[in-house]
Structure 1
Amino acid sequence: MNCRQCGTPLDKPGDYCLTCHTANSNAVVVEFDPDRAELTMLDEDDVVGHTAITTRPERDEDLTHIQLRNFAGRVADEIRRKRPETVYAAGARDPLRETRAQIHHEFYRVPDADPTDESGESGRDGHPAESDVVAWVLDRRGDRALEVVETPPREKIGGSHSTLIGDRKGRKAVQTVASHPHVKKIVPGPIDAGGTGSRTGLRAKATRAGTNGNVRLLLRDGSSVQENRIVTTAMDRETGERVREDLNEALRDAELQDV
């Protein structure tokens, strides 16, 4: 593949051109298996290339922590050389989570491919069909991008109630949500001490989005429950649901939700 701007040959499809400083893919879709990652590079609605990165567990067992980190590092390096605006990822949780921690691009987890779909139908213009994950992303590439909030997380928290249940874990849950780029503000709510007791410590969950795209952060610790309002940059329920799913994924990564 050559650079679309200056025609310089690129080492790999979708690479950023270091000659004329032009991006040749503005999004990367990554589909993770435990020991393999399939990367698809997109330029708007066009697929411009594919790359596969693999690793091999020692003695055919699960990846060790070092192997996992190195595997994710190779995927992260491949993403960086594209310099995309957005990364979409699906599939195996551990390598996805480790890769996400190693890059600083706008990153979204998207629905996994349907394992029962074996139709093998052709895709656009008679070409082989892209995966379910890539097709899902392409169908939504035209959606208006959500505004990114640059406000520091600590400045997003406010309201008439300042107490959070769960002590350190409660603060961690709110900080995790406040760190999301599409969260404008978190308004802590009153504490209800009459809930059903929990034996698993503090649990946090972002609830279904409203028609205005905002969601609620439900904190539950023992018999105490607190509902906190989250103001997002989403413009409707559909885009609010995208933010909600991403928040719950972040809370799971922070071990504040049951997997």
Structure 2
Amino acid sequence: MECRQCATPLDRPGDYCLVCQTENADTIVLELQRERARVTVLFEETVVGHRTVTTTPEPDKEQERSELRYFAGQIADDVRRKRPEEVYATGERDVLREVRAQLRYPFYRIAAEDPVEHVIERKGDPPLDVVEASVAEKLGGSHSTLIGGRAGRDVLEVVAGHPHVKKIIPGPIEAGGSGSRTGVRGKVTRADDTGNVRLLLRDGSSVQENRVVTTANNRELGERVRDDLNDALVEAGFAQ
């Protein structure tokens, strides 16, 4: 494949052209399995290339982490060569998490039988707004007390750090059943019809339901944000 601007030969289809500083891809779709990943490159709703990355999982648990990180790194390197505007991914959760951690592009998790066709069909949809604000700016409502004190605020910081979260409105703290786990835990529940979700904080037997206002405007987009938030809570060690 040649650069669409200056016709310089590209090492791989969709690579960013370093000669004339031109992008030759705007979207990447990742289909991630534990042993194999398919990287599909799109430009203006047209598939311009594919690449398959493979690995052999290590049986030893201590070595498996390094092997997974290296596998994800190969996938991430291929994405970075394209400098895309956005990345969509589906598949095995551990691989997806590791790849996302190594990239700094807008990254969306999707669920579809044909991920590439799904992304192409949605290309005309307007992107979700990004909210750049501090935790203090995103925190509102009449209930300022958070469950778990500082630990509860740490959970909210994880949620507030998501670019599609506009506001977090803490609710009252209620006594629940007996809690078997120590420490503050969080879980984001299903989105409503307006795309907003709720963050359930639990500390022992106490529970606090917090309303999370997102930039999504419907249930489907809200579910994408919910999945991202729950993944972030898992990565931060706060998941229920």
**Partner of 2:194: helix, strand, or coil?**
coil
**Whole-angstrom CA distance in 2 between matches of 1:140 and 1:14:** 20
**Residue pair 1:154, 1:175 contacting (<8 A) in 2 also:** no
TM-score, L = length of structure 2: 0.90
Shift in alpha-carbon separation, 1:92–1:222, aligned structure 2, 3 A: same
Which deviates more from structure 2 when the two are superposed, residues 146-155 or residues 39-48? 146-155
Question: 2 CA distance for matches of 1:44 and 1:9?
Answer: 20
Aligned ranges 1:47-196 → 2 under 5 Å: 47-58=47-58, 64-111=64-111, 113=113, 132-193=114-175, 195-196=176-177
Q: Hey, what does 1:127 align to over in structure 2?
A: none
Q: What is the Cα deviation at residue 154 of structure 1?
A: 4.4
Counterpart CA distance in 2 for 1:167 and 1:55 is 43
Between the two proteins, what is the percent identity of the paired residues? Answer: 58
- Which digits, 9 at most, give the CA deviation of each residue in 1:16-63, with x for residues without a partner? 1112211111111111111221100111321111011112234x6666
1:70-109 deviation digits (Å, cap 9, x = unpaired): 1111111111110011111111222221111111111111
Query: Which deviates more, 21-30 or 197-206?
Result: 197-206
Structure 1 CA distance, aligned partners of 2:3 and 2:98? 30
Deviations 1:168-227 (A, max 9, x none): 54223211111111111112111112x223313433222222333222111122221111
Which blocks of at least 5 consecutive residues in structure 1 are unaligned? Answer: 114-131
For the residues of structure 2 that align with 1:68 and 1:168, how far apart are their CA atoms? 33
Partner of 2:39: 39
TM-score (norm 1): 0.84
**Matched residue, 1:128:** none
Q: Distance in 2 between matches of 1:101 and 1:94?
A: 11
1:4 Cα offset (Å): 1.7
1:120-166 per-position Cα deviation (integer Å, ceiling 9, x unaligned): xxxxxxxxxxxx22222222222111111122344322333222213
Q: Which moved more, 1:72-81 or 1:132-141?
A: 132-141
Alignment root-mean-square deviation, CA: 2.0
Residue type of the partner of 1:229? Answer: R
What's the secondary structure of 1:37's corresponding residue? Answer: strand
Check whether the contact 2:57–2:68 (CA below 8 A) recurs between aligned residues: no
Task: Answer yes or no: is the 8 Å Cα contact 1:208–1:215 preserved in 2.
Answer: yes
Take 2:150 and 2:94, find their aligned partners in 1: how far apart are those partners?
A: 25
Q: Which runs of 5+ in 2 are unaligned?
A: none
| Cα 1:168–1:55 shift into 2, 3 Å | farther
